[in-house]
Structures are given as structure tokens and as C-alpha cells.
Amino acid sequence: MFQQLVTIVPWNFVAAICNLLIQMWLIKKFLFKPVQKVLAQRQQMADAQIADAEKARTEAEAMRTDYEQRLAEAKEEAAQLVQSATRTAQLRGEEIVRQAQADAASIKTKADADIAQQRKKAINEVKDEIGGIAMDIASKVVEREIDPKVHQDLIDEFIRNVGDAS
């Protein structure tokens, strides 16, 4: 037994509508729901990973900033250290030079004083010598003893005259 070739059978018509609706429900339940769930989960995971990466990047950025700041601080500190060391060294050097100059000056002064004293001493010795010689000469001349104590004035005058002459 066959249906007619081109006809609409009411029961088949109704069954087709019901079947399509049931099929729609089945496809939704067994294909779309599970797959969409998995896709949503994957999306969520990807979002989470992106968020994590963003967070890590922000942290790295903060760390970098911090590190750069510290580096700058360290550099500044080093520069300060060098500067202060330089200044100290300079001051020290200046002090040493000043000390050396002072020492030199004092040595020179002392040397001058020594020289002057030596000179004075030498002059005095020479004076005594000359006095003695003069006395010898004079005693030879007058043929008698000249007492240095008695004739001190005479000797002094003589020496003065010699000193003036020289």
C-alpha cells in the first residue's frame, strides 16, 4: 500500500511539526548547550589568562619603576659620595700645602735667625780677635802692657772705627 505521490497526509503533517520541534529541542540539549558551555568556559579561561598577564605586566612595570628609582637614588648617592670625597681631598690637600708653606716659612725664619746670630757671633769673635791683635800691636807700639780692663774704652772706639771703615 502506498500513499499518493503528491499529497498532504494530515498525520504526517502533524508528525513532521512535532518531529521538527523535538529535533530542535534535542539539538539544543545535546549539541548547543554542552558546546556553548565549553566555549564559554574557554572564553572565561582566556579572559582570566589575559587578566593575569595584564596584572603581571602592571606588577613588572611597577617593579621596573621602583628599580629605576632606586638606581637613580644610588647614582645620586654615589655622585654625592664622590663629590664629598673630592672636596675632602681638596681641603686636605690645601691644608697640607698650607702646612708645608707654614713649615717652610718657619724654617726660613729660623734659618734667618740662625744666620743672623752666627753672623753676630762671628762679628763679635772678629771684634775680640781684632781687639786682641790691636792690643798686641799697640803694646808693641807703646812697649808696654795694655790692660784690657783699663783700656776697654780705647779698644771699643778702635773697633767701631774699623767697623765703620769696613
Partner 1 sequence: MDVTINGAPIYTIPIGPGIPISATIVSSWIVMLLITGLCIWLTHDLKVTNISKRQAAAEYLVNLATSFVRGNMGVRFDSFIPFVAALFSTSLVSNLLSLVGLWSPTADLSVEAAWAVMVFILITRAKIRSGGLGGYLKGFTEPIFVLTPFNILSEIATPISMACRHFGNILSGTVISALLYAALSLASHALFGLIPGAVGDLLSQIPFLSVGIPAFTGLYFDWFSGFMQAFIFCMLTTLYIANAAGEE
- Which amino acid is residue 25, in one-letter code? W
Q: Residue 139, exposed/middle/buried by CB under 10 A (0-12, 13-18, 19+)? A: middle
Does the protein bind partner 1 through residue 9 (CB under 8 A)?
Answer: yes
One of 4, 141, 149, 153 touching partner 1 (CB under 8 A): 4
The crossing angle, in degrees rounded to 10, of helices 152-165 and 33-142 is 120
Question: Which of 10-18, 96-104, 117-125, 153-161 is the region at the interface with partner 1 (rule: CB under 8 A)?
Answer: 10-18
Residues 39-58 interacting with partner 1 (rule: CB under 8 A): 39, 41-42, 45
As measured in angstroms, the least distance from the Cβ of 50 to partner 1 is: 15
Cell of 66: 621602583
As measured in angstroms, the least distance from the Cβ of 77 to partner 1 is: 50
**How far is the CA of 3 from the CAs of 7, 9, 12, 17, in angstroms?**
8, 8, 11, 19
One of 5, 141, 150, 165 touching partner 1 (CB under 8 A): 5
Residues lying near partner 1 in the complex (CB under 8 A) are found at 1-17, 19-20, 22-28, 30-32, 34-39, 41-42, 45
